[in-house]
Amino acid sequence: MKIAIGNDHAGPEYKKAIVEMLKAKGYEVTNYGTDTSDSVDYPDYGHAVAKDVSEGKVDFGIVICGSGNGIAMTVNKYPQVRAGLCWTKEIAALTRQHNNANIISIPARFTSIHQAVEMVETFLSTDFEGGRHQNRVDKISC
Our answer to whether residue 9 is catalytic in this structure is: no
DSSP H or E run through 137: helix 132-138
Q: 33, 8 in Cβ contact below 8 A?
A: yes
Q: What is the Cα–Cα distance from 135 to 139, expressed in whole angstroms?
A: 7
Among 9, 65, 86, 142, the active-site one is 65
Among 98, 114, 133, 142, the active-site one is 98
DSSP secondary structure string, 102-135?
A: SEEEEEGGGS-HHHHHHHHHHHHH-----THHHH
Q: At 15, is the secondary structure helix, strand, or coil?
A: helix
Among candidate residues 67, 61, 93, 98, the one with its CA nearest the CA of residue 80: 61
Our answer to whether residue 65 is catalytic in this structure is: yes
List active site positions.
65, 98
